[in-house]
């Protein structure tokens, strides 16, 4: 299970995906465990985060990144700067 990151995707790709019509999630600096019941794709408008999958390597992500988290993945979110992101579950 891997986290897929598209760093600084083009505006046309974001428009094609309809990212700006997705719901918005915000969260302050914090650390918490999370398990994905469905695949999630999100686009970071703000933030600096390190997500560490169970038994895996930490992955850094933040503003301008388009990220896909696989269904069934358990991980720990470490939010280092407040997050604001568009998101959609598959």
Judge contact between 34 and 76, C-beta under 8 A.
yes
Structure confidence by residue, pLDDT tens digits, 56-90? 999 999 999 999 999 999 999 999 999 999 999 99
pLDDT for the residue 2: 92
Residue 67 structure tokens: 């990220």
Residue 58 structure tokens: 């930490």
pLDDT for the residue 56: 96
Give the three-class secondary structure for 12.
helix
Distance between CA atoms of residues 61 and 77, nearest Å: 11
Structure confidence by residue, pLDDT tens digits, 5-59? 999 999 999 999 999 999 999 999 999 999 999 999 999 999 999 999 999 999 9
For 4-89, CATH number? Answer: 2.60.120.10
pLDDT for the residue 1: 82
Q: Which helix (DSSP H) or strand (DSSP E) does residue 44 occupy?
A: strand 40-53
Helix residue ranges per DSSP H, 1-90: 11-17
Question: How is the chain split into domains, by residue range?
Answer: 4-89
């Amino acid at each position: 299970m891997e986290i897929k990151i598209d760093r600084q995707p083009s505006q046309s790709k974001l428009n094609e995906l309809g990212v700006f019509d997705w719901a918005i999630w915000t969260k302050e600096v914090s650390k918490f465990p999370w398990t994905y019941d469905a695949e999630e794709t999100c686009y970071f408008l703000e933030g600096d985060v390190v997500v560490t999958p169970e038994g895996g390597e930490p992955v850094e992500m933040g503003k301008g990144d388009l990220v896909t988290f696989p269904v069934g993945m358990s991980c720990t979110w470490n939010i280092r700067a407040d997050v604001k992101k568009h998101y959609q579950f598959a």
